[in-house]
Amino acid sequence: MAGPNDTTTYAEDELRRFYARHRALHEAGDWQGLGDLFTDDASYLDSVYGWSHGLPAIRSFLERSMTGLEDWSFPISAVAYDVDAGVILTHWSNRLPGTREDGTHYEVPGASVLTYAGEGRISRQMDLFDTAWMMREIKAWIADHDGALPYPDPGVRT
Instruction: Going residue by residue through the chain, which has 158 residues, state the pLDDT in tens, using 9 for 90 and above.
Output: 444 555 678 999 999 999 999 999 999 999 999 999 999 999 999 999 999 999 999 999 999 999 888 999 999 999 999 999 999 999 999 999 999 999 999 999 999 999 999 999 999 999 999 999 999 999 999 999 999 988 876 665 44
Let me know: does 111 contact 90? Beta carbons within 8 Å: yes
Ramachandran angles phi, psi of 109, nearest 5°: -70, 150
**Does any domain span residue 89?**
yes
Q: Which CATH number does the domain housing residue 44 bear?
A: 3.10.450.50
The tally of domains found in the chain comes to 1
Q: Which domain holds residue 137?
A: 12-144
Asked whether residue 33 is domain-assigned, the answer is yes
**Residue 157 domain flag:** no
pTM of the model: 0.88
Helices (H) and strands (E) in the chain, counts: 4, 6
Residue 9 confidence (pLDDT): 86
pLDDT at 152: 78
Q: Is residue 5 part of a domain?
A: no
- From edge to edge, which strands make up the β-sheet containing 38-46? 50-53, 38-46, 121-129, 105-118, 87-99, 76-82
The pLDDT of residue 47 is: 94
